[in-house]
Structure 1
Amino acid sequence: MTTLATALPGAASGVLDEAPPMPLPVLMYHSVGDSVSADFRRWEVPPGLFAEQLGALAASGYHLTGLTDALAHPHRRQVAITFDDGFEDFVTTALPALQTADAGATLYIPTAYAGRRATWLDDYTERNLPLLGWSDLADLAGEGIELGSHGHRHLELDVVPTALARYDVTASRRMIEEKTGRSPDSFSYPFGYHCASVRHVVAAAGFDSACEVGYRLHQPTQSRFGISRLVVDRAAGAADILRLVSLGHRDALTSARRGLRSGWRAYRAARWRLGRDG
């Protein structure tokens, strides 16, 4: 007689076939606040809305976690939460909301700027925003927040000489190890920019994954050194965030950005050379 046990694949060994890995939505945040600068507001999510987004995801059955933990559990219904730059409002505003939602996160640090100001934001009032210092960062690591690298000096790594990119990446990893006693597993390309040589540098430095922007869900078959992330809009309510983690970005503007990458890189490379020679 055929029973349920003998009819199921793998039943003879007592192990059922495992479901295929699931696409991974990776959310990208920078700041949880409400600044007065119109230019920077696209990188901020108001505190109340951030809490609403986390609540909607948790209520829909998503496990909310950092990136390395998410990559280690590819069959779980989950959303990875990442923050770039390490602004102080991560501790004052984002962390309480994460704790309320029982959510983890990965925080990417531009190590040369820890405890200083975001001076790479030359075109924004927020260039003076304070960044978390090493004491706070070490405390966060002790509380379960994953610390990753956002480079050392927040350089456009795909247009600088490979030797400089290698120094910057390895210096960032070494500093996180020295200051926190923990080796970072994950890297976030500054500005989201990367290329084959940069990906090789990051992998050779000992990182296990690296994030771009991408505007898509990360697929299990894609490289762990080009993990796509989803930019969270400051107006994204509960329905919007659930749609985003299901579908990714679907608007024409994000598609156009993908198509313009090579031309934009050539422009940035020329600008960097002019700045160096000038």
Structure 2
Amino acid sequence: MTTALPGVDTGLIEPPLATPLPVLMYHSVGDSVSADFRRWEVPPGAFAEQLGALSANGYHLTGLSDALAHPERRQVAITFDDGFEDFVTTALPALQNVGAGATLYVPTAYAGRRASWLDGYSERNLPLLDWPDLAALAGEGVELGSHGHRHLELDVVPTALARYDVTASRRAIEENTGRSPDSFSYPFGYHCASVRSVVAAAGFCSACEIGYRLHQPIRSRFAISRLVVEPTAGAVEILRLVAQGHRDALASARRSLRSGWRAYRAARWRLGRGA
């Protein structure tokens, strides 16, 4: 693509900017969790309704890296964090029913184990997919990405530790699946400039936060905003979400409080380490 120099009329017409990309964030698809965790679980019936509504309205449903490679499409990227077993037992059949792809982000140290980082939730005992299951997903149209190695708050730990964790997660996926992951999802959605640099240097091509907004193509691919899907969202709500993003005041408040929340978490981490 030729770019016009400032103040110089080249006579060329620049192509229009790509449209914003809706990126949906899921965790669990089921109906058996505690009230505290329910915000992160979508019931199977609601999930099927959401996918059906998006497909019927002409959206191409795919994983994140595929969506980034085709900005010209009318599409929605579907992502899952954590790698719970119900992705295979419940989410995957619904995705396949509408011909949808997805990206599954795996906290690699916990593959085949339990979600023990969910301290305080009964869901800390939810089983996670093991490596044979994860390797098999590549043949089912699912992109595997990294969710870090130990699901750390990467923006408050020392850079050397963040670097080790990110590179260890990439290496684990390569060694256990034979595939190099292209995309990363920041654990808890937390990141900063140094963490973004670490992820890029490790060889990833994109990385996701939460963000509560549609991803704008002019923004960094290492700060891709995602939309949280509410468990009560039906056809009308999911179509509004992918068209407009989150419009509620709570989402705006979360964005405005990020710096103060990071300072609190950094102090908590230091105290926990006995520093």
Tell me which interval the TM-score lies in, with the shorter structure as reference length.
over 0.9
What SS class does the counterpart of residue 146 from structure 1 fall into? strand
State whether structure 2 residue 84 is matched by structure 1 residue 87.
Answer: yes
CA contact (8 A) 1:158 1:194 kept: yes
Structure 2 equivalent of residue 198 of structure 1: 195
Letter in 2 for 1:229: R
Q: Which has the larger radius of gyration?
A: 1
Per-residue displacement from partner, 1:258-278 (whole Å, max 9, x unpaired)?
A: 110000000000000000017
Per-residue displacement from partner, 1:27-55 (whole Å, max 9, x unpaired)?
A: 00000001240001100000011000000
TM-score norm. by structure 1 comes to 0.93
Per-residue displacement from partner, 1:35-76 (whole Å, max 9, x unpaired)?
A: 240001100000011000000000000000000000000111
Aligned length: 263
> Which of 56, 62, 66 matches 2:63?
66
Structure 2 equivalent of residue 212 of structure 1: 209
Q: Provide the aligned C-alpha RMSD in A.
A: 1.1
Contiguous gaps of at least 5 residues in structure 1: 1-15
Cα distance between partner residues in 1 of 2:204 and 2:88 = 25
Structure 1 equivalent of residue 7 of structure 2: none
> Which of 128, 131, 135 matches 1:131?
128
State whether structure 2 residue 221 is matched by structure 1 residue 224.
Answer: yes
CA contact (8 A) 1:120 1:127 kept: yes
TM-score norm. by structure 2 comes to 0.94
Contiguous gaps of at least 5 residues in structure 2: 1-12
Q: Runs (4+) of structure 1 moved beyond 6 Å? A: none
Percent of residue pairs bearing the same amino acid type? 84
Deviation of residue 18 (structure 1)? 5.0
Equivalent residues in 2 for 1:136-215, closer than 5 Å: 136-215=133-212
Structure 2 equivalent of residue 31 of structure 1: 28
Cα distance between partner residues in 2 of 1:92 and 1:144 = 15
Structure 2 equivalent of residue 115 of structure 1: 112
CA contact (8 A) 2:114 2:128 kept: yes
State whether structure 2 residue 254 is matched by structure 1 residue 257.
Answer: yes
CA contact (8 A) 1:20 1:75 kept: no
CA contact (8 A) 2:33 2:41 kept: no
Per-residue displacement from partner, 1:212-261 (whole Å, max 9, x unpaired)?
A: 00000000100000000000000000000000000000000010001100
Deviation of residue 141 (structure 1)? 1.1
